[in-house]
Chain A
Amino acid sequence: MKNSRFRVADLLFLAWLIVIQALYYSQFWGQIEPRVRALRHLWHS
């Protein structure tokens, strides 16, 4: 019983980590996106 509760807590923590970091790094997409587009353009040309 105790072990299963801990597993739920671990999964919740993992979900928290993923959500927080996804939201955090997505802030920078505006700065990264033009570079990605430029690289893609370079690749296709």
Chain B
Amino acid sequence: MALLISIGWLAAVFLLCLPAIAFGARLMDWWGLRAENFLEQTLFAAGLSFAILQVIVHGLIAAGWLRRAVLLVLLAVMAVVAGRGWLLIGRLAITGRAFLARARESRIAFVSTLAIAFLLILDALMAMAPLTGSDALHYHFTVPLLWLHNGFAPLFDITLSFAVGQSHMLILMGLGLGSDHIALGLILIGGVLSAASLYVLARKWMPLGWSLVATLTFLLTPIVFWQMTVAGAPDIWMVFYTTVAVLAAGRGISEKEIRWVMLAGFFAGAAAGSKFPAWAIPAGLGLMILLETRSVWMTAATALAVLLGGIWPLLRNAWWTGDPFFPFLTRWLTPHNVNPSALAAVLADTRPLTKSSGLLSWFQYPVLMVLEGQKFGVGHYFGPLVLAFAPLLVLAWKPRPLFRTAAGVWAVMLIANTLSSEMGRFLLPVFVLALAIVFAGAEAASRMERPLLRWGAAASIVIYLLFGVASYAAYAKDFLPVSVGAEGRENFLERMSPNYEEVSFINDALQGKSGTTLIFIRHTYYMRGTYVQGDFQNSWQVNPDLLGTPDAMLAWIHKYGVEWVVKTDRYPRSLREPLDELENEGILQPVAAAQVQDIYGWRIQGGKLQVSVQILKVMPGKP
């Protein structure tokens, strides 16, 4: 039964994509933009449509009009307006048949195609597992859900809510349509489109077999299958938007055609609007367009399209806080709003523990990111091939605008990442570019009479694919059973979802009771009722420097209408003294308690610990 339900959700997501692609195809027709083949045209159409949908959904939620009926009408209008755009889907099916016939001619191409198809089926099933990703439960899904239920408003008690960007609007759309499975399915679609865009890019530089092996490598890379299936983060959409931006820019630069570079800018904007560090992408793209075309006019047109695609989260943040990149520029833009403890927590979360500086460290970073990835934002999840094949870049070089643009955008993103955060995972948007370029080098080496190069590269790829299969299996064993019905949903959530047992206990204990609950729990997606985050690690509105006394703490509790306080083991160190004092004075009185299990560390490592949860009622005064 669970398997059928999973297939049903996947079918719903697939059906949702069709009008989007057809609508995008019609827009491409109207603007006279025709790609080199139907697959590429489909990718441009999908990118255009979903980037437009993101803008519309952001507008709908801001206006307070986001409902299932409105979304269904929107999709219906897209389907009708698409008109002849639907023909592209038929043409794509014909192209698919022709592709299969060609793939059969080469053993590597055929085996790779089968492996890709098999992986995508597994990915699809894995993506239908209930949501358990840590950041997803904290803000990627929680913030859209809160906006949907409570209206569009700043959530200062979830500091990272201001990092919700354009691609989160696809999550919001899925939730608005009625299910987080649709939202997860849309994330999966971002991954599938990214893989297809890698294939299209690779095909411009290498033969079919190599392109398919590059695509297979991408799909077996831990950061990719993690992000497109179970992470619950929309970051994989940035990969897709960045790649189609580069493809469109390459075409626009070659033909000096402003419509193509504007399309590239719109895609780059959609990528940038998804995450603050991704603003390096339009910066790199704009720089390459300026260098290649020597046209300020074309660059300015690109910049305008970038803003149309991605400015919206920045405008929203500036409207709410005065800082478009809240809270990263707050120190300078609105210093009176700074919460030093909360800011320090956010900064610690977005850079490595030992951020070094200086010329030597900048050169070390790309190496250490891969070899000591745990210290540099899970850089080891990208695998070793980009670094290992780096010497082949000299062979990869192609004197064409597309290649130079891809290399330029990759370089700008890498430099920006090195100088700012040194967090490897922020390089995900350019991973396809990097992989396509180093594979172009490996393919060039394979054509030379240099057996050491050829066999060294081939053996490295084979070893990595085997490693990818093992990593994939280690992940899938925890997530596939629930999708196919071999494990119950509750059992799975208790096993894999951080804070789930605490949240379930709170939901049961406070069911039917009114009032806001003060919590010190990071993962609140499954939490019901009104709550406010009490830990400055998560919340901008908790400043421990101002809450050091019981009176100040009580005033804060009254200010936010808190009637219940949830104590998990002990209060956070920063607020322990005033809250313990309030408890001793009898202002906080325990009403329910339980011992539950929680996940310790990364969920995939399976560590568990026992946690005591206590619910305390806020009394009107001292007893």
Spell out A's residues near B (CB within 8 Å): 6-7, 10-11, 13-14, 16-17, 20-21, 23-25, 27
Contacts and interface: CB of A to CB of B under 8 A. Distances in A.
Nearest to A6: B450
Contact of A20 (B384, B392, B450, B453): B384
A13 B370 contact: no
Given A14-B456, A20-B371, 15 more contacts: A11-B452, A13-B456, A14-B452, A17-B388, A17-B456, A20-B384, A20-B387, A21-B384, A21-B460, A21-B463, A23-B371, A24-B370, A25-B467, A27-B372, A27-B380
A24 B379 CA distance: 11
28 contacts: A6-B450, A7-B452, A10-B452, A10-B453, A11-B452, A13-B391, A13-B392, A13-B452, A13-B456, A14-B452, A16-B388, A16-B391, A17-B388, A17-B460, A20-B370, A20-B371, A20-B384, A20-B387, A21-B388, A24-B383, A24-B384, A24-B387, A25-B384, A25-B467, A27-B371, A27-B372, A27-B373, A27-B374
A28 to B, nearest CB: 8
Contacts of B450: 6, 10
- 5 A-B pairs closest in CB distance: A24-B384, A10-B452, A20-B388, A23-B371, A14-B456
Contacts of A16: 388, 391
Contacts of A21: 384, 388, 460, 463
B281 to A, nearest CB: 27
Contacts of A11: 452
A24 B450 CA distance: 25
B422 to A, nearest CB: 17
**Residue in B370, B371, B372 with the greatest tally of chain A CB atoms within 10 Å:** B371
Residues of B contacting A: mostly: helix
Nearest to A25: B467
Nearest to B371: A23
Contacts of A6: 450
A17 B459 CA distance: 10
Interface string B43-55: 0000000000000
Contacts of B388: 16-17, 20-21, 24
Nearest to B464: A21
Contacts of B387: 20, 24
A21 B460 CA distance: 8
A31 to B, nearest CB: 8
A24 B380 contact: yes
B503 to A, nearest CB: 29
A10 B455 CA distance: 11
**Residue in A24, A25, A27 with the greatest tally of chain B CB atoms within 10 Å:** A24
Contacts of A13: 391-392, 452-453, 456
Interface in B378-411: 380, 383-384, 387-388, 391-392
B396 to A, nearest CB: 14
A45 B75 CA distance: 62
Nearest to B392: A13
A45 to B, nearest CB: 23
A4 B452 CA distance: 13
B259 to A, nearest CB: 43
Contacts of A27: 371-374, 380
A27 B456 CA distance: 21
**Residue in A7, A16, A17 with the greatest tally of chain B CB atoms within 10 Å:** A17
A7 B380 CA distance: 31
Contacts of B467: 25
Nearest to A12: B391
A32 to B, nearest CB: 9
Contacts of A24: 370-371, 380, 383-384, 387-388
A14 B451 CA distance: 11
Interface in B346-372: 370-372
B467 to A, nearest CB: 7
B199 to A, nearest CB: 25
Contacts of A7: 452
Nearest to B459: A17
Contacts of B456: 10, 13-14, 17
Nearest to B389: A17
Nearest to A20: B388
B457 to A, nearest CB: 8
Interface string B169-192: 000000000000000000000000
Contacts of A23: 371
A23 B373 CA distance: 11
A21 B450 CA distance: 21
B222 to A, nearest CB: 10
Nearest to B383: A24
A11 B456 CA distance: 10
Contacts of B463: 21
Nearest to A26: B371
A11 to B, nearest CB: 7
A17 B388 CA distance: 5
Contacts of B373: 27
A18 B578 CA distance: 57
**Residue in B370, B374, B388 with the greatest tally of chain A CB atoms within 10 Å:** B388
Nearest to A30: B374
A11 B387 CA distance: 17
A7 B374 CA distance: 36
**Residue in A6, A7, A10, A11 with the greatest tally of chain B CB atoms within 10 Å:** A10
Contacts of B380: 24, 27
Contacts of B374: 27
**Residue in B370, B374, B452, B457 with the greatest tally of chain A CB atoms within 10 Å:** B452
Contacts of B383: 24
